[in-house]
Structure 1
């Protein structure tokens, strides 16, 4: 019996060790899917080749696993789940041994441990399901605390909250607004894409204080009701809808669902709140026209219907110049380092907020001039080789992709090279939109490097149907391979656009 116990201990200890190693990657994917079991199940379904691999292979992730308190708690629960399985396996082995008196019963233990190892991707689902009630209780505590703090600051310190949402442009607009509003006001911004209840609660509870006059809150959503949830937390006085388009279509299914979800921000504004709309966007225009609360419309088209607009626009590879017009204040000449006409739209959104908050034209123009490009959103990177690199890798959508192409088209010298894996999360529209963008790429780019053969097939088809020189296209499996190809073809003066860098959940083998 002692020998049996020793054998069982060795087998179980080995199994536990390798199961812990194997569980890191599925935990990472679950974290990237927002700890949502349904989204994680979809990831498993779409990545069967990875899940079915028996040998653990460490990979370099673009966004590494972050060991947050929640991740640590989940990993601990997962440890207990694994141990519970292993104890059960030992019990089964002992029963078999009691009936056979043969050490061959340990073969059953080995087989069971291998099965557990193989199914670690699914065992994490059980662990996460167990953790949900506790996590919801913890989250609600943070949520209520942050909600109370915002209410108190609004009542006692006259804090103003600016909520920003949209299918795209919201993060850029948030950072732009931070710079512009900071010309006259004490602003508290949120890091990167902090746009969920827990991310915002953390900033509110830890960083927001009585000295701040404006709090900038980006509101993100993948399904109906999520904007409302975040709005109930931050209690916005001013709401901006930057743009609406086909993003997260695999979740929303229709543009109408996206419109209704983004409009939750406007519905949650108080009666004396102010709604700011990008009137150039066809879907946002519909929402603006049905709004009964006070509205500010901004854009570059149909200026007779706008409150804030840009005219005399000159866009170049060095930035843009334009005249900012606010009908109630007048006009002022502005210059910006930001690339592309679509960034003027984001500047107008922030300027509209500044106007609502009492800023004058001079301060707005000064703020606009100080705005720096947001990392991975059409910013120029100095490669030190004479090659101009434009980083637009954060994400991609049909409007943003075309905007990026128009930006590199402004560069009159040098060859134009694009590296892209295409667009994702467009639902049923994804294949068609990537096909269309292939045709657009053919008009602008001299060389095309596609990342992921299977995913970029529609782009390749679009290039071929546009009679593009396929000899100037390269299809690779990873960004590292793309960089190697790039090094072999570039020369001083070339312009390289990195358009979209898929998250780890979308990596193609």
Structure 2
């Protein structure tokens, strides 16, 4: 065979197959990189994703190609024992190339949150390529030294197919290898931000955390405080140490008087880390509820984690609690630092509270009260009674920083709905759309349905994929969600044939008309179905939009 195969032919085929393998590997690595980025670059979260959604990367095309290459390789090795035919050798390589080409998913799927090629992402991309190429090089060297590369080149191609198949697992190894570099980079930017935020002696830092409501409360609080101060807030959902460090290092300056920081968590210790970074003097705890139970496991762990913000406040700091939330109430009662309690229930115990609440289709009005007996009427464009709770958190912060109730009321009137959080949209078709597609949970989904029930005219239509990250409670929570839908809505469009089964059962439990339930696979299909049934004056609720890691 060595004599039959010319060097030119060998190297031409080697270059072609090598380029094809690199192309296939790139597309697969890019997808896995996107998923691990969405999982916060944490191997544990990524491994959990692989266990549940591995079919997204181990597609039928990939499996079929790998099986076919394995069978072809066995047949080739058997035939090579009896003949060293050049046609068979070339035929194997051509078939291998076609099967690898067949396995590649060239179509770029529409993502809600696109892959961002940050420096960290680029380092991990390179690291993954290095891991795969080193494995391939090691196999190639062994075969070259032992039996000669030309004759066994098809076996090298089989090995490369195996490595290609297991690229998702190699992403874990690549992440481990690059971790020391990332730790040093992260520490540099963390320390830089830590020192910078403390260099502004007159800066007031407000930390906000909670199982839900923290992003809305952040935007509300910042808008209210703008009545008196120059305010910087962390953008969108920047709530991790590196996200907050980036804002501090790139944006915060000595002109800012207040820095409002959202603090997120997926496991115990996360809030402590970001609170130590930002150094807040004021801490707001909006709510504790069953979110991220896949990582927290139980409510007690969530309470402990959220309370880390209060524990990190200085001795003269101010803790602000939503006293209507039963779990937050327990945390507030054990706190001996200065505290401000807000809510709408048990008003005699509260420092800031709302009365005379009137919730309407286009907003709400209420009387804002403090414990000194001062009061002022407030008007808000925000929908739902739960948003009044978020407004009270902002009002309590304003009170702590010296704003009058009149200034607070003026700020409340200027608050705009946060995108994708009960955002009222009028597309000009006579149909009212309520976009509540950001990260639904049992309490917020119930609140969204309560808002829909406020509309007196038109039919009520909900489009939802259900709720995720609720651990063992997920199935029951979605069944209850279905029961709540049946009590309010006339039509339900469920996105995802597997995950929405509990919602479907819950809807039927309430005697809902089965003909008014539609189960589709994608949001595009849901939109098409909506166009078939919707009429002017109808109210359409988009409740939750699953992250790319969860889409079926």
Note the C-alpha offset of 1:211. 0.9
Whether the 8 Å contact between 1:173 and 1:349 is mirrored in structure 2 is yes
1:78 is the counterpart of 2:128: yes
Of 330-339 and 67-76, deviating more is: 67-76
Instruction: Give deviations 1:216-266, integer Å, cap 9, x for gaps.
Output: 011111111110000000001000000000000011111011001000000
Work out the CA distance in 2 between the residues paired with 1:396 and 1:348.
21
Work out the CA distance in 1 between the residues paired with 2:328 and 2:511.
36
1:366 is the counterpart of 2:410: yes
Note the C-alpha offset of 1:104. 4.3
Work out the CA distance in 1 between the residues paired with 2:118 and 2:425.
31
| Correspondence for 2:45 among 39, 42, 54 | 39
1:502 alignment counterpart: 546
Of 3-12 and 50-59, deviating more is: 3-12
1:56 is the counterpart of 2:104: yes
Note the C-alpha offset of 1:97. 4.0
- Provide the secondary structure at the position in 2 that maps to 1:263: helix
Whether the 8 Å contact between 1:376 and 1:392 is mirrored in structure 2 is yes
1:331 alignment counterpart: 375
Whether the 8 Å contact between 1:16 and 1:83 is mirrored in structure 2 is no
1:122 alignment counterpart: 169
Of 87-96 and 479-488, deviating more is: 87-96
Whether the 8 Å contact between 1:323 and 1:332 is mirrored in structure 2 is yes
| Correspondence for 2:184 among 133, 137, 140 | 137
1:462 is the counterpart of 2:462: no
Work out the CA distance in 2 between the residues paired with 1:382 and 1:97.
72
1:311 alignment counterpart: 355
1:396 is the counterpart of 2:396: no
Of 75-84 and 230-239, deviating more is: 75-84
1:30 is the counterpart of 2:80: no
Note the C-alpha offset of 1:5. 4.1
Of 337-346 and 72-81, deviating more is: 72-81
- Equivalent positions of 1:206-225 (< 5 A) are 206-225=250-269
Note the C-alpha offset of 1:85. 2.4
Work out the CA distance in 2 between the residues paired with 1:109 and 1:487.
53
2:219 alignment counterpart: 175
Whether the 8 Å contact between 1:299 and 1:310 is mirrored in structure 2 is yes
Which segments of 5 or more consecutive residues in structure 1 lack a partner in the other structure? none
Note the C-alpha offset of 1:129. 1.0
Work out the CA distance in 1 between the residues paired with 2:464 and 2:23.
38
2:24 alignment counterpart: 18
Work out the CA distance in 2 between the residues paired with 1:38 and 1:423.
21
1:146 alignment counterpart: 193
1:244 alignment counterpart: 288
- Provide the secondary structure at the position in 2 that maps to 1:373: coil
Work out the CA distance in 2 between the residues paired with 1:281 and 1:31.
33
Bigger Rg over Cα: 2
2:13 alignment counterpart: 7
In the superposition, the TM-score normalised over structure 2's length comes to: 0.89
1:488 is the counterpart of 2:536: no
Whether the 8 Å contact between 2:430 and 2:537 is mirrored in structure 1 is yes
Note the C-alpha offset of 1:487. 0.7
Number of corresponding residues? 502
- Equivalent positions of 1:267-278 (< 5 A) are 267-278=311-322
- Provide the secondary structure at the position in 2 that maps to 1:436: helix
1:355 alignment counterpart: 399
Note the C-alpha offset of 1:6. 4.0
- Provide the secondary structure at the position in 1 that maps to 2:392: helix
RMSD: 1.2
- Provide the secondary structure at the position in 1 that maps to 2:30: helix
Work out the CA distance in 2 between the residues paired with 1:254 and 1:435.
19
- Provide the secondary structure at the position in 2 that maps to 1:347: helix
Whether the 8 Å contact between 1:16 and 1:82 is mirrored in structure 2 is no
Note the C-alpha offset of 1:316. 0.5
In the superposition, the TM-score normalised over structure 1's length comes to: 0.97
1:94 alignment counterpart: 144
Instruction: Give deviations 1:463-498, integer Å, cap 9, x for gaps.
Output: 111111111000011111101101111011110000
Note the C-alpha offset of 1:90. 2.4
Work out the CA distance in 2 between the residues paired with 1:24 and 1:218.
30
- Provide the secondary structure at the position in 2 that maps to 1:280: coil
Of 493-502 and 111-120, deviating more is: 111-120
Whether the 8 Å contact between 2:28 and 2:57 is mirrored in structure 1 is no
1:376 is the counterpart of 2:420: yes
